[in-house]
C-alpha cells in the first residue's frame, strides 16, 4: 500500500484519510451492534456523534502537536494547526477526549452504567485491528531497527519509513494484540454482568501493551528526546494504567453493584 496515489494530474489522495473514513463507519457499525446486544438506546451515541468526532479530531491533533513540540512550536495560525497530510494525530488524544465527552454525557443524563463505556472500547478494539493493519502497509506506524528475525523492509521510494534496513513490525504486533484483546473482552462481556470491568480492563491491558512496545517505535518525539527513554504515548499509558487500576479497585470494593462507571 502506498501512502498516497495520484487521482488526476497533480491531485493526490492520501490512503490515510480513506482508511480513517472506513474505520469511522466500522466503529459506528460495531457500536450499533453492541448497543443492541447490551440493551442500550443507540441514539444516545448517534445524537452526539458530531461532538465525539470534533473532540477526537481536535484533541488528537493537539496531543500530536504537544508530543512533537520541537517541530510545531512555531505554529502561528489555526490553519497551520489543522493543516496536515498524513498520520499527524495522537492515539492517546483520541482516546482521552472520546472517553471524556462520553463520560460527561453520561453524568449529564444521570446515568451510572459502565455499559456505555464497555461498548465504546469494544468498538474501538474492533476498529483498531483494521487501523493497525493499514498503518503497517502504509508505513505510518513502524518500528526501529531490531534483530528479532521478524523485521520487514520498506522498499517503496515514497514510503514514510526513513529506515533503509528491515525494521520491527510494530503495527502488526499492535493489530494482533488488539484482536486478541477484543476477542477476550467480548467473550467476558457476554458472561460477566458487572458493567465497567470491560473498559477498565481494556484501559489497563491496552496501556500496558503501548507502554511495552513503544520501546520499539521508530519515531522519536519531543518527550523521548527530553526524557531519554519515555515518549508521550508511554507517559499517557502510565496515567491510564493508574486510572484503570483505581476503577477496578472501586468495583472490587462494591461487589454488589452491577452498573459502575
Average pLDDT over residues 223-232: 78
Separation of alpha carbons 24 and 248, rounded Å: 29
Q: What is the pTM of this model?
A: 0.86
Confidence grade of residue 1 (pLDDT, cut at 50, 70, 90): low
Indicate if the alpha-carbon torsion angle 108, 99, 247, 30 is positive or negative.
positive
pLDDT at residue 241 in the model: 95
DSSP 214: G
CA–chain centroid gap for 69, Å, is 20
Q: What is the largest CA-CA distance in the chain?
A: 64
Q: Which of 160, 157, 153 is nearest to 138 (CA)?
A: 160
Q: For residue 217, what pLDDT is reported?
A: 92
Considering only CA atoms, give the Rg of the chain: 19
Average per-residue pLDDT for the chain = 83
Q: Collect contacts of 22-29 with beta carbons under 8 A, ≥24 apart.
A: 22/130, 23/127, 23/130, 23/131, 24/53, 26/126, 26/127, 26/130, 27/123, 27/124, 27/126, 27/127
Statement: residue 255 has pLDDT above 50 = yes
Average pLDDT over every residue of 97-111: 84
Per the CB < 8 A criterion, the answer to whether 72 and 65 are in contact is: yes
Q: What is the pLDDT of residue 260?
A: 44
53 touches 28 (CB < 8 A):
no
What CA–CA distances, in Å, run from 260 to 39, 184, 247, 251? 16, 20, 9, 7
Distance CA 108, CA 149 (A): 52
Residue 110 gets which letter from DSSP?
Answer: T
Where is pLDDT greater, at 193 or 166?
166
Classify burial at 73, counting beta carbons within 10 Å of its beta carbon; exposed 0-12, middle 13-18, buried 19 or more. exposed
Of 68-82, 92-106, 188-202, 224-238, give the lowest mean pLDDT range. Answer: 68-82
Of the chain, the end-to-end C-alpha distance in Å amounts to 41
7 pLDDT higher than 80: no
Maximum mean pLDDT: which of 21-25, 67-71, 159-163? 21-25
Highest mean pLDDT among 66-80, 148-162, 174-188, 191-205: 174-188
Amino acid at each position: 500500500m502506498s501512502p498516497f496515489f495520484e487521482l488526476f494530474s497533480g491531485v493526490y489522495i492520501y490512503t490515510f484519510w480513506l482508511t480513517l473514513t472506513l474505520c469511522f463507519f466500522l466503529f459506528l457499525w460495531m457500536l450499533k451492534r453492541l448497543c443492541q446486544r447490551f440493551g442500550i438506546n443507540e441514539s444516545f451515541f448517534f445524537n452526539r456523534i458530531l461532538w465525539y468526532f470534533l473532540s477526537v479530531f481536535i484533541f488528537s491533533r493537539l496531543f500530536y502537536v504537544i508530543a512533537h513540540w520541537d517541530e510545531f512550536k512555531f505554529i502561528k495560525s489555526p490553519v497551520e494547526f489543522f493543516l496536515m497530510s498524513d498520520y499527524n494525530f495522537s492515539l492517546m488524544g483520541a482516546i482521552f477526549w472520546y472517553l471524556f465527552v462520553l463520560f460527561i454525557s453520561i453524568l449529564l443524563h444521570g446515568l451510572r452504567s459502565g455499559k456505555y463505556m464497555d461498548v465504546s472500547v469494544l468498538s474501538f478494539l474492533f476498529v483498531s485491528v483494521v487501523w493497525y493493519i493499514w498503518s503497517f502497509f502504509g508505513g505510518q506506524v513502524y518500528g526501529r531497527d531490531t534483530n528479532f528475525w521478524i523485521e520487514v523492509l520498506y522498499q517503496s521510494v515514497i514510503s514514510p519509513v526513513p529506515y533503509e534496513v528491515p525494521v520491527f513490525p510494530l503495527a502488526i504486533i499492535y493489530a494482533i494484540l488488539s484482536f486478541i484483546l477484543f476477542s477476550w473482552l467480548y467473550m467476558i462481556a457476554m458472561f460477566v454482568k458487572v458493567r465497567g470491568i470491560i473498559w477498565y480492563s481494556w484501559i489497563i491491558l491496552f496501556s500496558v501493551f503501548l507502554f511495552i512496545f513503544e520501546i520499539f517505535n521508530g519515531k522519536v518525539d519531543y518527550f523521548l528526546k527530553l526524557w531519554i527513554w519515555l515518549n508521550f504515548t508511554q507517559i499517557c499509558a502510565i496515567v491510564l494504567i493508574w486510572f484503570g487500576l483505581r476503577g477496578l479497585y472501586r468495583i472490587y470494593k462494591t461487589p454488589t453493584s452491577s452498573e459502575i462507571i
